[in-house]
Amino acid sequence: MEKAVLLEKKIAKKILWEPIRDGQVCVFGDYIDRADLAKDLDSYLAALLRDYITPMCDLYAARIGKSYRSIAIKKLRAKWGSCSSRQELVFNRDLVHLPLAVVKYVVVHEIAHLIHKHHQKSFWDLVAILSPEYKKQEKFLKGMRMYEVG
């Protein structure tokens, strides 16, 4: 079979993730009426995400004995988070639409990069210590097909 056909079949099997549908916005995995949220939706959701992940980052950074310089919430096209060599954490603002367990996994993943800048065994061993069910969350992310949000 052609490579393009195989790729299309693989994409079709993935779950379509729709953060906004039928006048509702998905917030940490639950749909809420858009009318019940703030007028400036992007700023509201970014602040909500920051309020949720900051204490989590503090907790996991303390558990591994490391600190980070800053947290930024940005629109990222190809990844859920990153950790720079300067210990700056960046999280995709669309994380706010995902279930809380998945958000926790992304936070743990980026915090683990404060020690290990690579994805070798030592990195994954640390992730497993901090989040024993991380493989389930990683599978969820890999099984999604992102729906482009404005």
Q: Residue 121: which CATH number? A: 3.30.2010.10
pLDDT digits 0-9 by tens, 111-136: 999 999 999 999 999 999 999 999 99
Per-residue confidence band for 149, with pLDDT thresholds at 50, 70 and 90: very low
Q: Check: CB of residue 98 under 8 Å from CB of residue 45.
A: no
Instruction: Compute and round to an integer the Cα radius of gyration of the chain.
Output: 17
115 part of a folded domain: yes
- The residue to which tokens 């640390």 are assigned: 126
Q: Check: CB of residue 102 under 8 Å from CB of residue 133.
A: no
- pTM for this entry: 0.80
Number of domains in the chain: 1
User: Strands 30-33 and 24-27: what pairing?
Assistant: antiparallel
Predicted pLDDT at 30: 83
95 part of a folded domain: yes
In the DSSP assignment, the letter for residue 36 is G
Per-residue confidence band for 11, with pLDDT thresholds at 50, 70 and 90: very low
Predicted pLDDT at 148: 44
> 13-17, 32-36, 58-62: lowest mean pLDDT where?
13-17
4 part of a folded domain: no
12 part of a folded domain: no
36 part of a folded domain: yes
The whole domain housing 131 covers 19-146
For residues 146 and 47, the model is more confident at 47
